[in-house]
Amino acid sequence: MGLPVAMPKGREAAAPHDLPAPYLLFLGDVTEAGFAKTAFGLRDWAADRCIGEHALPAATVTTGLRRLTPREAAEAGARAMLIGVANQGGVIPPAWMPELIAAIDAGLDLIAGMHTRLSDIAPLREAAERRGTRLHDVRVPPPGLPVATGRRRSGRRLLTVGTDCALGKKYTALAIARGLSARGIDATFRASGQTGIMIAGAGIAMDAVVADFAAGAAELLSPDAAPDHLDVIEGQGSLFHPAYAGVSLALLHGSQPDMVVVCHQPGRDRVLGAPGFAVPPIEAVIEQTIMLGRLTNPDIRCVGISLNTDGLSPQDVERVTAETGERLHLPAADPMRGGPSFERLLDACRG
| Weakest mean pLDDT among 15-19, 186-190, 244-248, 261-265 | 15-19
- The SS3 assignment for 42 reads helix
CATH code of the domain containing 36: 3.40.50.720
Q: Do 212 and 80 sit in the same domain of this protein?
A: no
Confidence of residue 11 (pLDDT cuts 50, 70, 90): very low
Q: CA–CA separation, 137 vs 110, rounded Å?
A: 9
Q: Do 40 and 170 sit in the same domain of this protein?
A: no
Single out the residue of 139, 27, 140, 16 nearest to residue 81, CA to CA.
27
> What are the pLDDT digits (tens) for 330-347?
999 999 999 999 999 999
Per the domain annotation, does 7 fall within a domain? no
Q: Do 58 and 116 sit in the same domain of this protein?
A: yes
Q: CA–CA separation, 158 vs 169, rounded Å?
A: 12
Whole-angstrom CA distances from 284 to 4, 42, 304 are 31, 31, 14
**Angle between the 97-105 and 122-131 helix axes, to the nearest 10 degrees?**
10
CB 103 within 8 A of CB 81: yes
Q: How many domains is the chain partitioned into structurally?
A: 2
Question: What is the value of pTM for the model shown?
Answer: 0.90
Q: CA–CA separation, 102 vs 307, rounded Å?
A: 40
Q: CA–CA separation, 237 vs 240, rounded Å?
A: 8
Q: Do 174 and 116 sit in the same domain of this protein?
A: no
Q: CA–CA separation, 120 vs 302, rounded Å?
A: 42
CB 324 within 8 A of CB 307: yes
Q: What residues make up the domain containing 280?
A: 156-349
Q: Do 123 and 269 sit in the same domain of this protein?
A: no
Mean pLDDT, rounded, of the chain: 94
Whole-angstrom CA distances from 330 to 9, 144, 304, 324 are 36, 40, 5, 8
CATH code of the domain containing 227: 3.40.50.300
Q: Do 84 and 208 sit in the same domain of this protein?
A: no
Confidence of residue 2 (pLDDT cuts 50, 70, 90): very low
> What are the pLDDT digits (tens) for 254-267?
999 999 999 999 99
Distance of CA 5 to the CA centre of its chain: 13
**Cβ-Cβ contacts under 8 Å for 339 (sequence gap 6 or more):** 333
Domain boundary, last residue among 107, 137, 167: 137
Per the domain annotation, does 13 fall within a domain? no
Q: Do 162 and 297 sit in the same domain of this protein?
A: yes
